[in-house]
Amino acid sequence: MLYAFVFFTKLQSQKLFSSSKDLTTHIESIIIKENNQKKDTLELKKRLSFLKESSNKKYHILYDALLANGYSVFFDKTNPQSEYHYLKSIQEAQKSKDLSLIIWTQLNYSKYLYFYCQIDRLTPIVLKVMEESNQIDSSEMILPGETFKFFGWIMFTIEDDSAVDFLKKSMLYMKGTSSESADVLNAIGNCYFRKKDLVNAMHYFDKSEAVALKTNDSVRYAKVLGDKALIYNKKGDVDTAVNLLRQDIAYSQKFKIEKNEMYASILLAKILLKLNNKIEAEKILERAGKIAGTKSYYRSSLKEVIELKLLLLNGEDSQKELILRRQLKQVEEYLLQTNGNTVLKRTNWLIQKKKYEDETQKILLELEKSERIRNIGLLILISTILSSAIAYVFFTKRLENKRLKEEEYENDLLMYEEKLKDVSSNIDSYAENLQNKDKQISFLEEELEEIKSFTSKHSEQEKNKLQQMLSSHIMTDENWSAFKREFINQYSDFYYAIIENFPEVKESNLKIIMLQKLNLNNYEMSNLLGVTIDAVKKSKQRLKKKLGDKYDLLFEMVEYKT
């Protein structure tokens, strides 16, 4: 009897222990299974209904995240449905305070942005996720191998040296020989190729090829052949390079891997042009161009195809050249907003800036441990001296400045109005002007308060003058139109995302949202719009009532740094 009691007690304790531990494993199995499913959205909702009906809220989060993936595949482009469910999954994960889910939901959204080349939107999220990943043991993450592999992809895309470290770390969590490990080995090889370390690059390409053959991964095998061709071409063995690329294209066509066929075709066309084999190059580019034109996220490849076609023409057909150059201009304009060189350079700068800030923070923390008391004392002393000096200058010149400010504000008003009409100014100067305008309004209000107690004719005239100046500082429809144009020019992705995803938002709501995006508070908004603070608050409350659950998603988008 005692033995039976001990046995069942141990069995129950094992179940309680494993239920929490197995939750992550179960979530991982669902995610992996859904990665291989066709994304018919109606069928997907039925298949995932058990998650939505579960009493465990963590499964609700998983439902929204996987549904967002389904819409992404279904529409094959960025879309409002995916955006809504991605952001909802992230928001609910944050409410749950489960760091593994917080990291995974943001990573899931990041993959969506990465796939559709939204690099500028992606960067701040990835930086945040990287920071959060340092706060949790890797074994507690959801699919840690996939997490570190994605970090490696991002670092490789922006040409950061940490890519190899992330990719090698992801290999620690790959279970045996698999397509995933072949993918990572190939990515490491590309990192070394970019560093011009051809020996290590070929070593990892060989390992990737061996795994691909062992797992019957035709996609990876075809890709490795193309990557090896890069090395042979670099070494001057052009014949081997051409032969490998032709094999790559043949495999890609056989298994309908259009993306890989497109990449291999572009590489082969470049080599054929150097060999002056224009006929084959033209044929290959025609096929590659058709593939590149089918997806918006193939625009980088389409740009390469057009540039190669121009080289092929060599000025011999002016009409065709004109058409191609017009196409090239359109593609370049699109790439400037997604994954063009400007965006990638800015992204790389953000990554390096974040690294610098992290290193600086570590140094400051070390210094603080040994010199905290001395530094604080010195800071207090300096602050006291500066405060005293500022106070002295302020009080001695206050009366003189007061007289000069009235004259300056009249001139500033004219200058301000001209700046608003100048559409060549950027949104940062608008924000600065709006803040300056708020300061002017505050000053005028203070001046009016001070002369209220006087009854002389002179004070009454001054009061009327100040009142006119105050009224003229309120933002007019003309000024608002100029401001709005510049805002859209600077924050086009944000503005059109609001218009597309929140059709309930009216023009009056947009004013509040756009000023909020520029970090203006309720008091500053009320001054600029010529309404009370309560009116601004009520406007936000009405918007919240109108949007319901989508209100938090709206202001989460507002707070994202772009």
Burial class of residue 157 in the structure, from the number of CB atoms within 10 Å of its CB (0-12 exposed, 13-18 middle, 19+ buried): middle
- At residue 4, the pLDDT reads 44
Q: What mean pLDDT do residues 408-436 have?
A: 53
Task: From residue 408, give the alpha-carbon distance in Å to each of 404, 431, 440, 475, 528.
Answer: 6, 20, 10, 19, 19
- Triad 91, 95, 97: Cα angle to 5°: 120
pLDDT digits (tens, 9 = 90+) for 327-344: 888 888 877 765 544 444
- At residue 16, the pLDDT reads 33
- Triad 451, 454, 457: Cα angle to 5°: 100
Please list, in sequence order, all residues whose beta carbon lies within 8 angstroms of the beta carbon of residue 118, skipping any fewer than 6 positions away: 78, 338, 493
- At residue 9, the pLDDT reads 38
Lowest mean pLDDT segment, chosen from 118-127, 133-142, 426-435, 461-470: 461-470
Please list, in sequence order, all residues whose beta carbon lies within 8 angstroms of the beta carbon of residue 437, skipping any fewer than 6 positions away: 416, 473, 475, 527, 528
397: number of Cβ within 10 Å: 11
pLDDT digits (tens, 9 = 90+) for 8-46: 434 333 333 345 567 888 998 999 888 766 667 888 889
Q: What mean pLDDT do residues 40-62 have?
A: 91
The residue count for the chain = 562
Calculate the CA dihedral of residues 115, 120, 121, 122 and round it to 10 degrees.
Answer: 50
Q: What is the pTM of this model?
A: 0.56
The band of 397, judged by pLDDT with boundaries at 50, 70 and 90, is: low
